[in-house]
Amino acid sequence: QVQLQESGPGLVKPSETLSLTCTVSGGSISSYYWSWIRQPPGKGLEWIGYIYSSGSTNYNPSLKSRVTMSVDRSKNQISLNMRSVTAADTAVYYCARDFGSGSYFDYWGQGTVVTVSS
Amino acid sequence: DIQMTQSPSSLSASVGDRVTITCQASQDISSFLNWYQQKPGKAPKLLIYDASNLETGVPSRFSGSGSGTDFTFTISSLQPEDIATYYCQQYDNLPLTFGGGTKVEIK
């Protein structure tokens, strides 16, 4: 059974960089797409972007200028970096397995809360 | 971006009731539409993909239909464990976008 686990700082200061890691267990990250999705408190879901196991990416244009995703196949991990954060970036961040190049999400991590505050 | 409009935003129904949620896309998305269930404090769970295909292990009381711009999600007989927020999501075009959610409560 594939399992995903997000990790990273729960508190980030405004203007700094948010860095999260998603560790995949129970299966290989190879040959799959992996997405990051976030959910501000009490609000809906926003797709941030995906990365393929080869390293190719596609980002939401609304966040593209601040987001970088990477993959470490040796550790079965994907990472998210988001620069110049503001309070509007406060959210639960999820990683999820994307069945195709932007399709449906069949496995999700439990999510990690990130608060942007000084 | 394709806008996804869900209605209603919330509903209250009795156990055993038939519950219907609609999702409208701002343009034709064929059948590239998925439905998720999110319980409080939990990650979303895939229920329906490609508009009408039931994900493995999901109870058959859940179903989906539609194509083009108009889609429907149905719970044929509401159960207490179905209390959750339900989201539609399109994947016809990037960026992937979600509906605003429908919160389902027990009357």
pLDDT at A73: 94
pLDDT of residue A3: 98
| Those residues with Cβ within 8 angstroms of residue A70's Cβ, 6 or more apart along the chain or in another chain | A51, A55, A78, A79, A81
Chain B interface mutation, best of A45, A51, A52, A60, highest count of B Cβ atoms under 10 Å: A45
Instruction: Determine whether the interchain pair B95/A61 forms a contact, defined as Cβ–Cβ distance below 8 Å.
Output: yes
pLDDT at A100 over 90: no
Indicate which of B38, B94, B97, B98 best probes the interface with A, i.e. most A CBs within 10 Å of its own CB. Answer: B94
The answer to whether the CB atoms of B99 and A108 lie below 8 A apart is no
**pLDDT digit string (tens) for A62-83?**
999 999 999 999 999 999 999 9
Predicted confidence at residue A101, as pLDDT, reads 83
| pLDDT 10s digits, B10-66 | 999 999 999 999 999 999 999 999 999 999 999 999 999 999 999 999 999 999 999
Position B3 scores a pLDDT of 98
Give the tokens for residue B107: 């009357």
Q: Which of A60, A106, A110 sits opposite B95 (nearest CB)?
A: A60
Contact assessment for residue B30 and residue B93, using Cβ atoms and an 8 Å cutoff? no
pLDDT tens-digit profile of A4-39? 999 999 999 999 999 999 999 999 999 999 999 999
Contact A47 B97 (CB under 8 A): yes
Mean pLDDT of the B84-88 span: 98
User: What is the structure's pLDDT at A26?
Assistant: 96
Judged by a CB distance cut-off of 8 A, whether residue A47 touches chain B is yes
Percent of chain A with pLDDT over 90: 97
Q: Check whether B1 has a pLDDT greater than 90.
A: yes
Interface test with A, best of B96, B97, B98 (most A CBs within 10 A): B96
Chain A residues lying within 8 Å of B95, measured CB to CB: 47, 60-62
Alpha-carbon distance of A42 to B59, in angstroms, equals: 27
Whether residue B23 contacts residue B105, with contact meaning beta carbons closer than 8 Å, is answered with no
Nearest CA among A91, A2, A113, A13 for reference residue A47: A91
Give the helix/strand (H/E) hosting A58: strand A57-59
* pLDDT of amino acid B84: 98
